[in-house]
A and B are shown apart, each in its own frame.
Chain A
């Protein structure tokens, strides 16, 4: 009797969860279906659900309207540079704060943490001025630099490194290792889960970011994919099928990575409790 009841309840649960899931993914389904239609069909009333004739050409058309190739390269290079830089910078700072004893540790750590509480817009104008002064507007380093030094990574790794037992460092010191060696050979290898989470989150920020790349890289060849997409929308009337094809292509890499590395993604979000 109770078993039957719980099974019936599961049916209700499934119906609710399915309906919700459908609402979550239906925009993507619509995006995909539209990406295969002609412009005329995409604006027809009432709309057709399935495309009358499948037009994969819309996907190649996306490559003809904007320099998608260079934009994709820019997005990838900026992502790699930012992730590598952030991992290096953040792990060093986190190690120093979590494992070393030195003067002004408290105030220096506070400097990093204060930055976390400040909305990003406060940094944007001067960051832009710094990049311009260096002559780096419209470059890959312009896209990646500020994010490399983000205090967010320091915070995530610091929280993790604090949980490692102090005996690790002490044992290594007795063996004659210096702090650099301890960082490299003892602490860093133990931080793999946290580093993985940070890699994933930083990649996500970098790939999806709009405001900063929109400001610093304004030449079409130097734009990232989201900025390119944004300009595409305004540029020439709106060719919805091409727009849908293009936007689908740009979200695909992150969705694939997510499906493959789901566990790490979810751990990353739960660990840092952040809004992507």
Chain B
């Protein structure tokens, strides 16, 4: 997930730090055109200092964007080279069932992992209580899965989920629950992976929500207590409404991250797993087309589809935020 990590609320960062308007502009206007060069006193230094970062950006990010679009419209192989022919690849992908299945799987996965947000909210509220001992101890334990390698934890979970001798089945058997081969069964594999997704993301969600809680003024909680509100009532009537901006941020990040899911599925299901065909996510499909079947043009199409889906889902979330997010 690291090469070009899909980031944060990037749009917020676009505001320039300083504009040569305001007071400076007024003085400049009085003195006429001769002062114009001063609007950009650092042109040369900017060019020198930006040369290397910008070259890297062009080679490893901007050119690849263009190249991916061109590839998606091309035919050929790595040996023969590629030539632009039109929308055939797009038609092949969109007419086939595989990409739609993967899209549905990815959205289902994202939706399930989103259920981790309310869990993190409750935990964050519990941890926020003053005079609670061992806060940092708990925080550490909840955060450990965030720093552990997905490949490694996926192996552990695969072993736990094993249908023949897995720990989960033993525990479920003891309490009379259903047992099965969780990650080898097409009916449950995706959900089993999503549970691990929730487990891994809980720490991150918790940290961001906890930071949001720090900003909620204590006087409001106290006022609600004086009015006779119990802890549950305070949580729903005071904490949650004031926390909606953080909840929104966490939800957006959770979905963007889920749309990138690859490692967990790659390890937990493995290539020979009978459930794999019905559980592929969009990034898994991308990897398979582009680097296992070596059909780069088709891989490029799938990559572009992820972009469209990510933008669409994020846009929907931003649109919906007006209904439930309150900025104090």
Contact = CB atoms under 8 A, between A and B. Distances in A.
Q: Do A and B bind each other?
A: yes
A50 interface: no
Contacts of A204: 147
A120 B144 contact: no
A30 interface: yes
Given A44-B165, A243-B155, A109 B141 contact: no
Interface of B: 1-11, 13-14, 16-18, 20, 39-43, 45-50, 52-54, 56-57, 59-65, 67-68, 71, 123, 126-127, 129, 131-134, 136, 138-153, 155-157, 159-160, 164-165, 167, 170, 199, 201-202, 204, 207-208, 211, 231, 249, 253-254, 256-257, 259-260, 262-263, 266-267, 270-271, 283, 286-287, 290-291, 296, 299-300, 302-304, 306-307, 310-311
Contact of B199 (A24, A118, A230, A273): A24
Nearest to B136: A262
B319 to A, nearest CB: 17
B53 A226 contact: no
Contact of A115 (B62, B132, B262, B299): B62
Contacts of A259: 140
B49 to A, nearest CB: 5
Nearest to B139: A266
A180 B304 CA distance: 39
B221 to A, nearest CB: 13
A56 interface: no
Interface in A246-276: 247-248, 250-251, 254-255, 257-259, 262, 265-266, 269-270, 272-276
B266 A127 contact: no
Contacts of B207: 266, 269-270
B170 A47 contact: yes
Interface in A80-121: 89-90, 92-93, 95-103, 105-106, 108-113, 115-121
A34 interface: yes
12 contacts: A17-B127, A44-B165, A98-B17, A124-B286, A126-B63, A158-B13, A210-B263, A226-B263, A251-B152, A258-B147, A273-B208, A276-B204
A257 B148 CA distance: 11
B7 A274 contact: yes
A229 B152 contact: yes
A240 interface: yes
A95 B267 CA distance: 40
Nearest to A130: B59
Contacts of B283: 121, 211
Contact of B53 (A10, A89, A145): A89
A93 B202 contact: no
A237 B147 CA distance: 28
Given A266-B139, A273-B8, 7 more contacts: A117-B311, A149-B59, A150-B4, A166-B18, A179-B45, A233-B270, A234-B271
Contacts of B310: 119
Contact of B263 (A149, A154, A159, A211): A211
Most chain A C-beta atoms within 10 Å of own C-beta, residue among B1, B48, B256? B1
A136 interface: no
A248 B152 contact: yes
A194 interface: no
Q: Which 5 A-B pairs have the closest CB atoms?
A: A149-B56, A205-B2, A126-B64, A275-B257, A247-B152
A34 B165 CA distance: 12
Given A179-B49, A273-B8, A30 B160 contact: yes
B155 A270 contact: no
A113 B151 contact: no
Given A276-B146, A276-B147, A101 B129 contact: no
Contacts of A212: 2-3
A17 B296 contact: no
Interface in A213-236: 215, 225-226, 229-230, 233-234
Contact of A126 (B18, B68, B208): B68
B264 to A, nearest CB: 10
A28 B146 CA distance: 13
Contacts of B147: 204, 254-255, 257-258, 265, 276
Contacts of B18: 101, 166
Contact of A28 (B6, B144, B299): B144
Contacts of A128: 291
A25 B149 contact: no
Given A121-B286, A149-B56, A274-B253, A233 B1 contact: no
Contacts of B41: 101
Contacts of B267: 230, 233
A96 B46 contact: yes
Interface in A39-67: 42-47
Contact of B68 (A6, A125, A229): A125
Contacts of B287: 211, 215
B151 A24 contact: no
Contact of A124 (B3, B254, B263): B3
A122 B211 contact: no
B1 A209 contact: yes
Contact of B149 (A44, A92, A254): A254
A262 B157 CA distance: 25
A270 B247 CA distance: 13
